[in-house]
Structures are given as C-alpha cells and as structure tokens.
Amino acid sequence: MNNVHGHEVMHMMVNSGVPYTRETLRSAITHQFGEETRFFTCSAQGMSAEELIVFLENKGKFHPVDGGFTTAPERICNH
C-alpha cells in the first residue's frame, strides 16, 4: 500500500490550476495516487482520500473560488 503526504495532494491541486469540488478532488486524487493509497500529514496518518479532504478542509488549507475551492502554495507548510 502506498503512503503519500498530504502536501503532494496540495501540490497536485496547485499545479492543475483548476477549482475542485469534493467529488472532483476525490476523483483526481484516486486517478493520480491510486484507490488503495493512504495519506499522512504532520499530525495524522492512515487517511483515505475522503478523510484527507476533510482534514485539509478543517485545517483551512482550501479557499473558495467560483465553482468550488482550491489551495495556494503559501498554504502548504514546508517541513
């Protein structure tokens, strides 16, 4: 099973340049990283794509834009 840091998902979002909904982000994560991948952050581990989305949202990593939400490089911690 793959383990991927949540920062990689945020970088994917920034690099895409498109807004996401929860559904489209979950789909993009699955496409990019695989269905069985688990995600970790500096303070959590073993999360599914859906759990990571909720985690990042609760941490204020997303900001609303027309048609959904996105993130920005300055919202990605550098450690």
Does residue 62 contact residue 38 with C-beta atoms inside 8 Å?
no
Can you give the residue range of the structural domain that contains 65? 3-75
CATH number at residue 65: 1.10.10
**Mean pLDDT per segment of 10 residues, for the chain of length 79 residues?**
93 95 97 96 95 96 92 83
Rounded CA-CA distance 66/25 in Å is 15
**What global pTM score does this model have?**
0.92
Number of structural domains (the chain) is 1
pLDDT of res. 1: 73
pLDDT of res. 76: 84
pLDDT of res. 79: 64
